[in-house]
Amino acid sequence: MSWKAIQKENFTDIEELAAFLELPYGTPLLKKSRFPLNLPRRLALKIRKNSLEDPILRQFLPTEDENVPSGHKDPVQDISFQKTSHLLHKYAGRMLIITTGACAMNCRFCFRQNYEYGPGGDFSQELQILSQDETIEEVLLSGGDPLSLSNRRLEILLEKLALIPHIKRIRFHTRFPIGIPERIDEAFLALLEKCPKQIIFTLHVNLAEELDADILLALKKIARLGIPILTQTVLLRGVNDKVEVLKKLFLTLVNNGLIPYYLHQLDPVQGAMHFEVPMNTDLLQALHAELPGYALPRFVKEEPFAKGKTLL
């Protein structure tokens, strides 16, 4: 089955998901959410039945907690860094292309859940801006999720980026393989392999339990092309805010050749503040005492208008 066919089987109806997971009667579900439910079946199959405390479920289930009036619609001030609706310039030497608003899954803590995505196109304006700024050495492909684009659209974009001499690196920011590892198909691997620029992958993963043999195999296929795979994790209350949970995740990653890169403090986005963990460096110090250095990510926070991520 193709990855697009698999994606069509995602849970998008909250009552259907509640029935599938046998959620307790009276669960405070948010049936009319401004940010729609979107959960791949692969992840749903990993969730414990009849439990609201499952850490995978908590990341994706719309609940009434989202109606608490706190947080910001644009917590990292993306709008202040727009060159176009598809191109952001926050940091020296790098620009970010917002390739699409589509994702394989909708995480309830997504910091761009209120972003006004522009209409799709061929990125000609963005490519022109990139070609004219010789200080830019790296382009980040984000969204949404860039792997939501077809192989053909990604191939065209990579080919055009490859024609810009001063761009040396192309970085994918994705969570797609966590829900639909079938997305890493032979055609996608072929277009990565023929790209003359250095490609880097940054994978969003929050729990060791999100991973399985199919996902790890798909990632190894990328790694065999000489593409580094970094990971980023968001610290979430009731999901992964325990030393033993993060230790298990980071060791699982390094045991499979993946590099824990960032542990993010939650971006204070409207509708997700129930996930916030109070600032606490004791957690990282405890991990530091138990993990080898290469398994310990940088604990960071994104502060608008800072010149880079703020180390905590």
**Cα end-to-end span (Å), the chain:** 44
* 253 domain residue, yes or no: yes
Q: Which residue has the tokens 């055609």?
A: 187
Look up the pTM and report it: 0.95
Residue 253: CB atoms within 10 A of its CB come to 25
Is residue 72 domain-resident? no
pLDDT band for 301, please (50, 70, 90 cuts). Answer: very high
Number of residues that this document lists for the chain: 312
- Token pair 């990653």: residue: 253
Model pLDDT for residues 30-75, shown as the tens digit of each residue: 888 889 999 999 999 999 999 999 999 999 999 999 988 889 999 9
Residue 26's domain spans which residues? 3-67
Q: Nearest CA to 99 among 136, 163, 148?
A: 148
- The last residue of one of the domains, among 33, 67, 101, is 67
**Cα(151)–Cα(31) distance, rounded to whole angstroms?**
34
Residue 35 identity: F
Answer yes or no: do 60 and 85 share one domain: no
Q: Examine the domain organization and report whether 128 and 164 are in the same domain.
A: yes
The 94-98 sheet, strands edge to edge:
82-84, 87-88, 94-98, 138-142, 169-174, 198-204, 229-234, 259-264, 298-301, 310-311
240 and 93 fall within a common domain = yes
β-bridge mates for residue 171, sequence order: 140, 200
Residue 102 located in a structural domain: yes
* Whether residue 143 is found in the same domain as residue 189: yes
**144: preceding bond cis by omega (within 30 degrees):** yes
The model's pLDDT over 171-205, given as tens digits with 9 standing for 90+, comes to 999 999 999 999 999 999 999 999 999 999 999 99
Q: How many domains does the chain have?
A: 2
More confident residue, 82 or 279: 82
What's 283's domain CATH number? 3.20.20.70
Of 67, 101, 116, which closes a domain?
A: 67
Identify residue 114 by its one-letter amino acid code: N
Mean pLDDT value across residues 100-105: 97
Tell me whether residue 73 is in a domain. no
Last residue of a domain, one of 37, 67, 97: 67
Residues 62 and 82 in one domain: no
pLDDT reading at 118 higher than 90: no
Shared domain for 201 and 139, answered yes or no, is yes
The verdict on 93 and 141 lying in the same domain is yes
